[in-house]
Structure 1
Amino acid sequence: MPEIADEAVEVRAFWQELGLPGLIDVHTHFMPERVLDKVWAYFDAAGPLTGRPWPITYREEEQQRLDRLREFGVLAFTAMLYPHKPGMAAWLNAWAAEFAARTPDCLHTATFFPEEGAEGYVGEALSKGARVFKAHLQVGGYDPADPQLDAVWGLLAESGTPVVTHCGSGPVPGKHTGPGPIGAVLARHPRLRLIVAHMGLPEYADFLDLAARYPYLHLDTTMAFTAFTEQMAPFPPDQLLRLLDVQDRILLGTDFPNIPYPYVHALRALAGLGLGEEWLRAVCHDNAARLFAVPGSARDR
C-alpha cells in the first residue's frame, strides 16, 4: 500500500501544476462497515461480477481513508453505496445522511432500488439534502426502466440531482446493462443529469453517442484509461478526440478505495491521453465544481 505522505506529494503536484485548488472525485465509496467488508470479500474472491482478480489498494479504516483523500487534496467526494436487493436502500440512505452530516467534504449521497416506496424514500433523501444518487444496474440486476422507478427518475430529473449510474457492460455484462436500457430512461426523462460511470465501458462509443444526443448526460472517468482497464476494455483510439467534444461533461471518478492500483495512476492515465491541460482542469475539478456548486473551490481563470 502506498505511503500516504509519499503518494500525497505526487497527487498534489499533479493538480498544483494545473493551477487547480484541488480535485473533485465524484466516484468514491463509503458505506456501512459490514457492507464494505462484504464488498471487499467479493473482490477478494474474484466474484463473477469482477471478471478477474482485483486487489484492494486502500484496505484501511474509514478515518484513514478520509485522511488519504484530504491529504491528496480532494476537495469534495461521494459516498457511493447501492443495494442489491429490496429493503436495503432506505437503510443505506439513513447511514449516508449521518455520514454526510459528520463529513462536510462529502457530497451527500443516496441510492434506490425498484420497489414499493422508492419514490417516498428518494423524496425524503432529497428533502434531507442528498446531492447525488448512485444506481448500480450490474449489481442490482434491475431494469432502469422498471415502472417502479419512473417516478424516481422524474423526481431526480425535476430537481436536477445527478445520478451516477453503472450502466455499461463492464467488467462483465448484466441483464440490463448497455446503452439500450438506460437509453429508454433518458428518452422518457431527457433532462435527467445522468453520470455514466466508468465512461460506459466497454460501450464507450455508444455512450458518447448518448452524450451527443442528451446534453444533460455526463460521464465519469472511473478506472477508464488505466493499465488495469486497458487490458480488458481498451478505449478505442478513434474515439479519443470525441472526449474534447464533451469536455464540459466529463468528471473525475476513481472508485477509491476499491482500486487495484495507486490513486495517482488514474491521474497519470488521464494526463497520458494527451488532450491538454484545459481538458484536465475541466475534468479534474471545474466540471464537478460547477455541477455540484462546490463551495470554496472556485478559482481564477
Structure 2
Amino acid sequence: MSSDERDRGRDRDDVLRFWQRLGLPGIIDVHTHFMPERVLRKVWAYFDSAGPLTGLEWPITYRQDEDERLGLLRSFGVVGFTSMLYPHKPGMASWLNDWAAGFAAEVPDCLRTATFFPEEDAEAYVREAVESGARVFKSHLQVGAYDPNDPLLDPVWGLLAEAGVPVVTHCGSGPAPGAYTGPGPVARLLARHPRLRLVVAHMGMPEYTEFLDLAVAYPEVRLDTTMAFTDFTEAFSPFPAVERGRLADLGDRILLGTDFPNIPYPYVHQLHALERLGLGDDWLRAVCHGNADALFRRAG
C-alpha cells in the first residue's frame, strides 16, 4: 500500500468515526465542486498560480479524476453533495447547466445544481432549470464580477424566491475582495427579495458579523461552513470569538460545506474544525446533516 493510499484510508476512517459517533446516517455537504473536466483543470491551474482572487499558496488535496473523487466522497459517507459550478462571462451558464443536469442524472446522490449570469436569457434558462428539477443554484459574485442587483437578474431572484430553491452565493470579500462582494449588495438584494433562500458561502468571510446580522434579519438566509474555522483560514481571516454564541443561536441555519476537492488540507479537518468550536453534538448533527436534509426536502 502506498503512502497516499494509507493517508486516504486514515482520512476516510476519521470521517466515518466523526459522523458515526454522532449517530448520523451520513453527512450532507452543500458546497462541493464537480464541473466539466476542462473547466475544472482551469480552476486548478488558477489555484496553482496563486491568482489574484486567491493571492496565496493553495495546494489542491484531491486532484484525482472524477470517478475517484466521487468514490472518495462516498467512502467518507457523504450521502448528499452538489456540483457547484459558475460562469465568469456571458454565454457560459446555460451550457454549464446542461452539463450539471447530465451529471446529476448519472450521479443520483448529487443534488442537481445550476447557475446563472446577468444576461438577456438568464430568466429563461433559470426557469427551465427549475422546472426540470434543479435543487440548488450557485452564484459567485467574486469570480463572476457582477452586481447581484443587476436588473437582468431581478426576475431570476424573484423566480428562485418563489420556487424556494436555495442559492449558494459566494458574496463575502474573502479571500480577496471583488467589485460587488461584501454585505452591502446582498443586503440590497434581500430587501427586495426577503423570502430568498440564500446560503452565504464561507460564512461570509471576512465579513462574518455582517452576514450573521443578515441571517438574523432574514429567516430564510443560511450560511455554509466552507473553509471557515480551519487552520488554513484562521491564519488570514479568523472568525471573531465574540460571535461564537451566534453560531449556536443560528444552529438551525448553518450547513456543512467544504469546497471539496479544492481544499489545501484533508477533508476531515473541516469536520474537526467544527467539532472544536465546542457547540455540542446536537449542533454538529444539525450542521452536518439535519439542516441540509430539511432544507432540500422543503426545496424538493
TM-score (norm 1): 0.97
Equivalent residue, structure 2, for 1:73: 77
Aligned counterpart for 1:118 among listed residues 113, 119, 122: 122
Match of 1:195, SS state, is strand
Check whether the contact 1:145–1:181 (CA below 8 A) recurs between aligned residues: yes
Q: What residue number does 2:238 align with?
A: 234
Post-superposition shift, 1:182?
A: 1.1
Aligned residue among 7, 10, 18 for 1:6: 10
Q: Among 197, 210, 218, which residue is 2:222 paired with?
A: 218
Read off the aligned partner of 1:94 and give its amino acid letter. Answer: D
2:151 matches 1:171: no
Q: Deviations over 1:236-264 (max 9, x none)?
A: 00000010111000000000000000000
Unpaired stretches in structure 2, ≥5 consecutive residues:
none
Equivalent-residue separation in structure 2 for 1:146 and 1:182 (angstroms): 12
- Superposition deviation, residue 197 in structure 1: 0.1
Could you say which residue in structure 2 is the equivalent of 1:284?
288
Partner of 1:293: 297
Within 2, Cα distance between the matches of 1:5 and 1:129?
35
**CA distance in 2 between partners of 1:175 and 1:275 (Å):** 35
The yes-or-no answer on 1:35 pairing with 2:28 is: no
State the 1:6 CA deviation: 2.4
In the alignment, which residue of structure 1 is the partner of 2:278?
274
Q: Is the 8 A contact 1:49 1:171 kept in 2?
A: yes
Counterpart-to-counterpart distance in 1, 2:242 and 2:295: 28
For 2:165 and 2:297, locate their aligned partners in 1 and report how far apart those are by CA, in whole Å: 12
Tell me by how many angstroms 1:293 deviates.
1.8
Deviation at 1:177, TM superposition (A): 0.3
Q: Distance in 2 between matches of 1:6 and 1:280?
A: 21
The percent identity for this pair of structures is: 71
Which residue is equivalent to 2:142?
138
Q: CA deviation at 1:5?
A: 2.6
SS for the counterpart of 1:76 is strand
2:193 maps to what in 1?
189
Q: CA deviation at 1:4?
A: 3.0
How far did 1:217 drift? 0.1
Tell me the secondary structure at the aligned position of residue 287 of structure 1: helix
Which residue in 2 is equivalent to 1:199?
Answer: 203
Residue 50 (structure 2) pairs with residue 46 (structure 1): yes
Alignment: residue pair count: 294
Q: Work out which of the residue numbers 128, 133, 139 in structure 2 matches 1:129.
A: 133
Equivalent position of 1:298 in the other structure: none
- How far the C-alpha of 1:183 sits from its partner, in A, is 1.1
How far apart, in 2, do the equivalents of 1:180 and 1:263 lie?
32
Contact 1:190 1:214 in 2 (8 A): yes
Q: Matches of 1:4 and 1:133 in 2, distance apart?
A: 30
Give distance in 1, aligned partners of 2:9 and 2:67.
15
Could you tell me how far apart the structure 1 residues matched to 2:226 and 2:60 are?
A: 15
